[in-house]
Amino acid sequence: MANLRGLFRREISKAEKIKIFSENGGEDLGVLLDISQNGFRLSSKKAYQPGARLSGLIESPSESGPPNFVPFTAQCVWTHRKEAGFNIKEIPHTAEAAFDQLIERFAGSGG
């Protein structure tokens, strides 16, 4: 578990509150805590099990206008209390630029 946490480049501040939604955008699945090109850490009221697959949308705040939503498919690799770590399995080609911008904006400081 500790090695996977090392993949994350920067913890997202609580003020930023980036949410993850179900694939259809209807259900709030939790709040993003960390993110990198390889995966993310999620705080959620839902219980996840290692090996579980998740398809959803990452809310990507916009500097002007409504937020963008980045679709993804990921697999849970660890859980601890209300947190779960996921490896990203797929970002659709059409959403790669938005995902890269999200990474640059929120994970660019290293750490």
Compare 24 and 110 and report the one with higher pLDDT.
24
Q: Does 46 score more than 50 pLDDT? A: yes
Is there a domain that residue 13 lies in? no
Cβ(4)–Cβ(39) under 8 Å? yes
Q: Does 45 score more than 50 pLDDT? A: yes
Residues 16 and 29: their CA atoms lie apart, in Å, by 16
Is there a domain that residue 91 lies in? yes
Is there a domain that residue 88 lies in? yes
Is there a domain that residue 27 lies in? yes
Q: For the stretch 77-95, what's the b/e string if a residue is b when 16 or more beta carbons lie within 10 angstroms of its beta carbon?
A: bbbeeebbbbebeebeeeb
When pLDDT is cut at 50, 70 and 90, the band that residue 82 belongs to is very high
Tell me the CATH number at 45. 2.40.10.220
Split into its structural domains, the chain has a count of 1
Residues 43 and 103: their CA atoms lie apart, in Å, by 18
Give the structural domain span for 103.
2-8+19-107
Q: Does 42 score more than 90 pLDDT? A: yes
Is there a domain that residue 14 lies in? no
Is there a domain that residue 80 lies in? yes
- Summary mean pLDDT of the chain: 83
